[in-house]
Amino acid sequence: MSNPDPNYDPRTAPPPAARPARNGYGGWIAAAVVVVVAIAAIAYMATNRPNNQSDQQALLAQQQSQQAAAAAQSAQAAQDASQAAQTAQGASAQVQQGAAEQAAADRARAEAQADRAARDADQQGRDAAASAPDAGGPPPPAPPPPQQ
């Protein structure tokens, strides 16, 4: 054993202190209050939902307006594409017409040049025939000798 107190006399020790009497219902009352508050909170959350119908209608209206805007943009894009295609066709036709006109002008110039060349050749042939000596006649005189 440990060292006992030499002045301790178990016969003269005071009796243990008396505990004051307590009400045993305090804990139960606190638990009941917590339960009542929890039930009230659950009832409040269950019955106080925000009105989602107006939010859903606003969202639906926004989606419809977005779809309408997208459809309008798509229609405008199709119209622009059609107009661009028509413009491109017109430009292509103009380019082809211009190319055809240029080719026709080039052909006319080439024919005119060919006609001139043929006339010039014909004229040169006539000139050569006129200046050529007659084959049945005497030979042409010899050129004079060079002088020193």
Mean pLDDT computed over 37-56: 83
CA distance 107 to 77: 44
Each residue of 80-104: pLDDT tens digit? 888 888 888 888 888 888 888 888 8
The residue extents of the domains of the chain are 77-127
pTM comes to: 0.32
5: which 2 tokens?
């107190």
Tracing tokens 């405008």 back to the chain, one arrives at 76
Average pLDDT, the chain: 81
Q: What is the DSSP letter of 145?
A: P
CA distance 76 to 84: 12
